[in-house]
Amino acid sequence: MSMSPQKYLRYLMLPNLFGTARTKEILQVNPTVLPQREEANEVKIFVYEYDAHSVHEYGAESVADCLHCKEGKYISWINIDGLRKNEVETICNDYGIHPLVIEDILSINQRPKFDEVDGILFCLLNMLYFNEQKKSIETEQISIILGPKYVLSFQEDSERDVFNPLRHRLKINNAKIRQRGADYLCYSLLDLIVDNYFIVMEKVSEQIEIVEEEVIRNANTRSLARINQLRKELIVLKRNFAPVRDLLNGIIRSESELLDEATTKYYKDVYDHIIQAYDLSENYRDIISSMQDLYINNVNLRMNEVMKVMAIVTCLLAPATVIGGIFGMNFETIPYIHNRWGFFLAVGAMLLIPLWMIRLFRKRGWF
């Protein structure tokens, strides 16, 4: 199978081999500096209005087309894919969202969190995706606002999310989500996001298994690079799981009137899932640490084997060196110097002594 030059020439550069660019991407977060978000090239707005008997789904041309949902008799879900400052501020101001919440929606690299401000519940967290080509975890920030009879969700990417199962359930007449309020809709969104975490973890688990087998079979420098890459991806998982755990715990402890007591148990179920995901990520980290130790042990073992062979070869050549050195001295009188069999006796001794040494080494189990 042929390999393109771009695919293998990148391994000639050490930064590419060990993924230092990924390290910078993961760790370069400064909360004291407000990064500028680029305006989305495309904004998609989808509105779902429903009750127990009917559901209405439509795409809005602009945020102005869905402002009436606030006063409607239906439960409404407004999902905005792609963020532009003007659209976000327009809809948030109309719904009475606090300016600090608007700032969080428009910010980037935010830590997942939960806030209760001016009668609404605000959840900010990341959706995770696994990039099969780069073998890395990608994040997309999503903001969810729960109001009296509405849910607003803001996504960065207009092309992908994990909410398709929810959209299908909304179209089913007797679906549970159609029988309940907006707090259950918010739960459903969080549940799908957390469930998708396990799909990403399965992909990471597959990569761990591949690298582990590679380390056991034939460890090399590239194996160490892949171990290092997996350690970085686990940092991404931990950075998201721990705050989301606190987020869900905050919702469970909240005494907001927006949360029905019967719905709290569903949030507890999502909380149990994120606890399980966090524990699995810790297990993955332990496996990676063990794998790194295994790699180091394999390298040391290989080095010991090399040194062992070199030591044996040195020992076997020592008798020949001694004999050759003795008979190579420039003295007038040396035993067997004029004997016709002297040369053959010296060569025979050079061969027989190493053979005897090999037998002795094997008998003592030295190799």
Q: Where are the domains of the chain?
A: 5-298, 304-363
Torsion, Cα of 177, 191, 163, 121 (10° steps)? 80
Give yes or no on whether 5-298 and 304-363 have one common fold.
Answer: no
Q: What pTM does this model have? A: 0.79
CA distance 204 to 288: 11
CA angle in degrees (0–180, nearest 5) for 235-240-241: 100
Is the pLDDT at 31 greater than 60? The verdict is no
Tokens standing for 104? Answer: 């969080």
Contact 40, 83 (CB under 8 A): yes
Torsion, Cα of 299, 281, 196, 136 (10° steps)? -30
Is the pLDDT at 213 greater than 90? The verdict is no
Residue 219 confidence class, pLDDT cut points 50, 70, 90:
confident
Query: At residue 55, what are phi and psi to the nearest 5 degrees?
Result: -145, 140
Average pLDDT (69-88) is: 87
CA distance 70 to 45: 15
Average pLDDT (278-296) is: 89
**What was the pLDDT predicted at 19?**
58
- Top CATH class, 5-298: alpha beta
What one-character DSSP code corresponds to residue 4?
-
**What was the pLDDT predicted at 60?**
86
Domain spanning 304-363: which superfamily?
Magnesium transport protein CorA, transmembrane region (1.20.58.340)
Average pLDDT (59-75) is: 81
Contact 59, 43 (CB under 8 A): no
Residue with tokens 């905005």: 80
CA-based radius of gyration for the chain: 34
**What was the pLDDT predicted at 346?**
85
Residue 34 confidence class, pLDDT cut points 50, 70, 90:
low
Contact 18, 226 (CB under 8 A): no
Residue 14 confidence class, pLDDT cut points 50, 70, 90:
very low
Q: Is 141 helix (H, G, I), strand (E, B) or coil?
A: strand
Q: Of the ranges 109-118, 200-209, 210-219, which one carries the lowest mean pLDDT score?
A: 210-219
